[in-house]
Structure 1
Amino acid sequence: MKRWGKVCLSVLAGLLLVAGGGAAYLYRELEPERHFEGVRHPVIAPLPESEEEARPEPASEQQAEAFNVLILGIDARGNEDARTDVIMAAHVDPIAKKVNLISVPRDTRIEIPGIGYTKINHAHFLGSLQAGDDAGTEAALHAVSRFLQAEMNYYIKTDFQGFIGLVDRIGGVDVDLPHPVADFAEGAHHLDGAEALKVVRERYSLPDGETGRQADQALVLRAMLEKMLAPDALRQLPDLIAQVKAEVIETNFSDADLLSLALLFQGMERSQLEYVQIPGESGVAYDPLVQAELSYWLPDEAAVQRISAAYLQNK
């Protein structure tokens, strides 16, 4: 699952300082409207109904394609096989300069082939248990792709320590909490990595539980993007990307892809990022994996189909 980029960041960083034609060339190469041309080959796609559907469409040479990104936060502890504590799907449209962000509750009840109906966050655990971390990533991609009926072109994955390290590396984040969270009162806070992790993991103290937790996760993610893409931070971005990819995250984005995304997100208004949660209700059902009844999030399947069509599919 590792399709690492081979772009030399030292060269890119140098080019960022070159004036005139060199800088213009670099911007042309990284400009999101051009850089993501022909993004047609997904990492994971829903199984086709027929051979005809399985044939890839020809790549566009005219403009960038919108694409989907799976964001995974893993509750890894040492060498234990881990479940996904955070699951988000993002639909990025470089032309419209818009991002749709969809939270998938970790307790969502789905069917995993060979297992039966279980929690969606068990997919990564089962894959990594069978064949290691890469297989866990692939299993999570398959599970989310099937559930949302949408192809996943890219993924970003980090664990607890990686998340703490990233937030600390960018100097913490500023968030305005709409409600008390754990030890934090409602209102503005500057959070370091450990504090930000506490916010994105907390649900028991929230009046709306898991739903509120997902909204807080999106709030912190937006704050991280704003901090990394602030004007005074952009010059350090190539070095930050190199460090983050080496120490904090696993991704199939190349370094150039991430720099292009930075250009896309820079200056984006909040109205250009739309956030939605998966509707449904809480329930209890038998889980064949643990051979006991568990609490689940039972998704509204018709609503999931509407959300997929409206937020994750290319128009």
Structure 2
Amino acid sequence: MPSRLRNILYSNSLLWGLGAAFLVAVLATAVLTFIVVRDAVVSWWQAPRVEAAIHTPTPLPNVPTLAPNQVLQTNQLAPTPQPWDGQSRINILLLGLDYRDWEAGQGPPRSDSMILLSIDPPSKTAGMLSIPRDLWVNLPNGFGYGKINTAYMLGEAYQLDGGGPGMAMQAVSNLLGMPVDYYARVDFDTFVRFVDEIGGVKINVPETITVDLLGDGTQKTLQPGVQTLSGEIALAYARARHTAGGDFDRARRQQQVLLAVRDRILDFNLLPDLMQRAPYIYYQAQEGIDTNLTFDYAIKLAWLMLDIPPENIHHGIIGPEQVDISTSYDGQSILVYDPQALLELRDDIFSTYGRIEPAAAGTPDAALLRAEAARIFVQNGTSVTGLGARTRDYLEQQGFDIAGVGNADQLYPYTTVIDYTGNPYTLKSLIASMGIADSQIFTSYDPAATYDVILIVGDDWAQQNP
């Protein structure tokens, strides 16, 4: 019998990009979305403590007034804006694209980072969840299983309805059982300009860290302590990955920077000035922003986000407690997630009044099962004649796809499930429908397996269904 896979992960990134340059910063300086460059640092050198060179804000020019419904959307395939009443919970996928793909000219880029930002206006709460790029999921539109960071690339490459953003949004929605109606991404330059526009960000650097400035290969060493960082150095700080905690440390730094932007605006009461300058900032950064958020929504979200107390902003990372490290059939390092642990993390980050079940989030369990389309083979592991067939009939009524029934090669005291292709919502639903113990759920990745899931009914199930 296969053993339970329980490995510890130390990889993956998070970063993000949100529409309207100034909103990006207000909501979390979306641009951490481009914290991509993964090139290993060949050498390290020590330099004196860096004092940020902060640019003086540019005077406000005469620019056209933006229409409330104007959208800064450069991707013509991407989803169109959805109506928002300003009071309902709003979920926005913040995307960062793989800079190395762009440099290599290898076609549509993968997403290097994804953050789901969720804001609940009535309760004045917000949550941010970082999704690792190597997470192994059932991709939308019939592409089968793959890393979640390929969703954007496939949507662009195949010119699908919604394009890369739409495919990525659907992948995240399927993963978390939450609707995702908006997306945003912003590039490096936009982030740097905005941070400089607000006079830099104040960061408490916890330990000595060497960072790489983007583009010229220059390295800077930051010493521990509170210091004000320019846009260029703040970006390098958020991008740095060569620390003891690897990508998990980087994720924490990115969230530290984005919250520092919010604090900077509040501490210096910059929002009124930013609102006045919003059209200029919007036009200045339009080349580096892609979002289906309207300008009107961006303004509402900016005010709302700044009105949320710091203790009501929850943030987390899909990490070692939710994933196991594994290897795909073609040798890729992948992350296989524990569906129950993932949903618990989701609820911890986003829930206001208790558990967010998929149905409550707008995505029924039945829809999630259909999306996974897992083919289940039922084996009778008991001496009770016909139990396998009766179990098949029961599960088909629950919406499961039962591909066949047979007898197990031995008797099983406990009902056991073996997942060969990664089907978290199928496993979650089987556990709920049959009361299967978590200790009896096993993963044995094999894309060539005849069936996606083998369900072996044991004596415990027979006793419940004599």
What do residues 144-170 of structure 1 show as CA deviations (whole Å, max 9, x unaligned)? 111111101322212333333333343
Shift of 1:88: 0.9
| Equivalences for residues 155-194 of structure 1 within 5 A | 155-182=183-210, 183-194=221-232
Closer, same or farther: CA 269–178 of 1 in aligned 2, 3 Å? farther
Shift of 1:11: 7.7
**Alignment equivalent of 1:296, drawn from 334, 337, 359:** 334
Closer, same or farther: CA 242–251 of 1 in aligned 2, 3 Å? farther
**Which residue of structure 2 lines up, in the alignment, with residue 89 of structure 1?**
116
Shift of 1:269: 2.7
Gaps of 5+ in 2: 1-18, 21-62, 69-78, 211-220, 354-466
Superposed structure 1 runs of 4+ greater than 4 Å apart? none
Shift of 1:313: 5.8
**Alignment equivalent of 2:325, drawn from 272, 280, 283:** 283
Aligned-residue identity in percent: 26
Tell me how large the CA RMSD over aligned residues is: 3.4
Residues in 1 aligned to 2:67 and 2:276: alpha-carbon distance in whole angstroms = 7
What do residues 249-291 of structure 1 show as CA deviations (whole Å, max 9, x unaligned)? 222222121211222123533202111222334523126xxxx
Matched, 1:10 2:37: no
**Which residue of structure 2 lines up, in the alignment, with residue 211 of structure 1?**
248
Shift of 1:201: 2.2
| Equivalences for residues 1-315 of structure 1 within 5 A | 10=65, 64-76=87-99, 77=102, 80-113=107-140, 114-131=142-159, 135-182=163-210, 183-203=221-241, 205-229=242-266, 230-240=268-278, 243-244=281-282, 246-278=286-318, 279-286=321-328, 292-312=330-350
Gaps of 5+ in 1: 14-42, 45-58
Residues in 2 aligned to 1:192 and 1:98: alpha-carbon distance in whole angstroms = 29
Shift of 1:89: 0.9
SS at match of 2:168: helix
Are the aligned partners of 2:114 and 2:133 in contact in 1 as well (CA < 8 Å)?
yes
**Which residue of structure 1 lines up, in the alignment, with residue 398 of structure 2?**
none
- AA aligned to 1:240 is A
Closer, same or farther: CA 217–155 of 1 in aligned 2, 3 Å? same
SS at match of 2:65: helix
Are the aligned partners of 2:328 and 2:334 in contact in 1 as well (CA < 8 Å)?
no
Greater C-alpha Rg: 2
Are the aligned partners of 1:66 and 1:94 in contact in 2 as well (CA < 8 Å)?
yes
What do residues 195-215 of structure 1 show as CA deviations (whole Å, max 9, x unaligned)? 222222222x22222222111
Compute the TM-score of the two structures, normalised by the length of structure 1: 0.70
**Which residue of structure 1 lines up, in the alignment, with residue 218 of structure 2?**
none
Are the aligned partners of 1:163 and 1:248 in contact in 2 as well (CA < 8 Å)?
no
Q: Which has the higher helix share?
A: 1
Closer, same or farther: CA 268–305 of 1 in aligned 2, 3 Å? closer
- AA aligned to 1:285 is T
Compute the TM-score of the two structures, normalised by the length of structure 2: 0.49
- AA aligned to 1:206 is T
Are the aligned partners of 2:194 and 2:231 in contact in 1 as well (CA < 8 Å)?
yes
Instruction: Say how many residue pairs are matched.
Output: 261
